[in-house]
Amino acid sequence: MSLIAAHRLSIRLGGAEVLTGVSMSVAAGEIVTIVGPNGSGKSTLLRALLGILPSAGGEVTRKPGLRIGYVPQKLHIDRSLPLTVRRFLSLPQRRSEAEARTALERVGVPEVRERQMADLSGGQFQRVLLARALLTTPDLLILDEPTQGLDQPGEAAFYRLIEEVRSETGAAVLMVSHDLHVVMSASDRVICLNGHVCCQGTPRVVSNAPEYRALFGLGTQGALALYQHSHDHDHTHDHAHPHAHDHDAAEHDHV
């Protein structure tokens, strides 16, 4: 049974349909990465799966009792507001000293416990957000572009941490990423979204595409994976066959 799944899910924002007929799922223990161009509905899909946005059609199903840990794309901390890491970890639910210490040690930043949130580096901040998400002992971690704003070494370290967390806890991971290295090395499955599911499958589907190999050989970093089918078809009907395009090629542009 899937931990969480969307079934022909459609979402409307401001009168416009931004997601149409999206079907996808995440199984226990797997890492699934969502890719797509800006404005393709990636964050919208995560918010719908979390129950933050209502659906205009279709449905979201969750395993009964599913525990979700969420790391948002951005979290603004007012610099004028005194807020230590320790206090942040106890929002909204109070956590013991032992719980806080264990969570910070797990993500590799035990030394920031009494630091102000506003004074953390980008990498430290993201690790603290992950620590807070792990305090719920989640079955599923949902990460919305968790390395945005980090340099390449910081990105690589964070994604290694995600894999370690999955290995140690057994939690499944659903994340949005623009980093091709992550898609290829850290994902069990990749879902390409552009208002609907263009295609989904194993990273092999993408890595075997000649367009991808050509660009990757040039050392393209941080490129956005734009999946394009190698056959002609009507995109308006893609959503009826969410698993039907595992043979498709991939094409990449700079963000």
Looking at residue 150, its pLDDT comes to 83
Asked if 63 contacts 2 with a C-beta cutoff of 8 angstroms, the reply is yes
Q: Contacts from 12-19 at CB under 8 Å and sequence distance 24+?
A: 12/56, 13/44, 13/53, 17/56, 17/195, 18/44, 18/195, 19/44, 19/45, 19/48, 19/193, 19/195, 19/196
**Angle between helix 97-106 and 122-134 (nearest 10):** 130
The CATH class given to the 2-67+138-218 domain equals alpha beta
Whether this model's pTM surpasses 0.85: no
Instruction: With a cut of 70, list the residues of the chain below it in pLDDT.
Output: 180-181, 206-255
Q: How far apart are CA 216 and CA 183, in angstroms?
A: 12
Looking at residue 185, its pLDDT comes to 78
**How many H helices and E strands in the chain?**
8, 11
Q: How far apart are CA 209 and CA 200, in angstroms?
A: 14
- Give, for 185, the enclosing helix (H) or strand (E): helix 180-185
Q: How many residues make up the chain in this entry? A: 255
Domains in the chain: boundaries: 2-67+138-218, 78-136
Nearest Cα to 23, choosing from 53, 1, 43, 49? 49
C-alpha torsion angle, residues 85, 88, 90, 95 (rounded to 10) = -20
Q: How far apart are CA 90 and CA 117, in angstroms?
A: 13
Coil, helix or strand for 186?
Answer: coil
Per-residue pLDDT tens for 121-135?
989 999 999 999 999
Asked if 62 contacts 142 with a C-beta cutoff of 8 angstroms, the reply is no
